[in-house]
Amino acid sequence: MAIKVKDVNASMQKYTANTANAVAAYKAGIQSPKQSQSAAAIAAIPTWQQAVQSPQAAAAMKTGLNAAGDTGWQAGALNKGAARYPQGTQLGAPKWAQNVAPYLQVIAGLNLPVKGIRGAAQNYARVQAVGQALHNAKLAKSGLPASS
């Protein structure tokens, strides 16, 4: 005997109606999680490493990417992301500024070698000085020793 299921359109309408009414529950779940999300994610790193190295994970990822194709992500980005982009950047701007400020300070504090003529090796030394200083700042932020 076949299993009787609801019509897909009726299920979709119920899904959208219920989620629209669940904003308070959504916020409450975020504000009071059952466990720390970051602690649980850190504890799961060994399992995650094993999972992403498995042939089954690679096959599943390839299947999903082939099924969606480029039109999948493009439709989502155009239909949802484009409209949300300005608000998302406005809401994220303070965090962006907080994260970029230390690197801008590193750049502002550099004394670069003298600039040479076009194509001179000493010009590449200027680029290298900036790159090395930014890399060391990133390592320091992570608690790792600076490289030379």
d(C-alpha 56, C-alpha 131), whole Å: 39
- ∠ CA 112-129-140, nearest 5°, is 120
pLDDT reported for residue 62: 94
- The tokens describing 127, both together, are 């680029």
Which residue, 109, 105, 107, is CA-closest to 131?
107
pLDDT reported for residue 55: 92
Neighbours of 138 (CB within 10 A): 14
Taking residues 14-27, report their average pLDDT: 87
pLDDT reported for residue 146: 81
d(C-alpha 67, C-alpha 59), whole Å: 12
| Per-residue pLDDT tens digits for 86-122 | 999 999 999 999 999 999 999 999 999 999 999 999 9
pLDDT reported for residue 20: 81
Question: In the chain, pLDDT over 90 holds for what percent of residues?
Answer: 73
d(C-alpha 116, C-alpha 66), whole Å: 50
Q: pTM of this prediction? A: 0.62
Which residues make Cβ contacts (< 8 Å) with residue 123, sequence separation at least 6? 115, 116
d(C-alpha 109, C-alpha 91), whole Å: 29
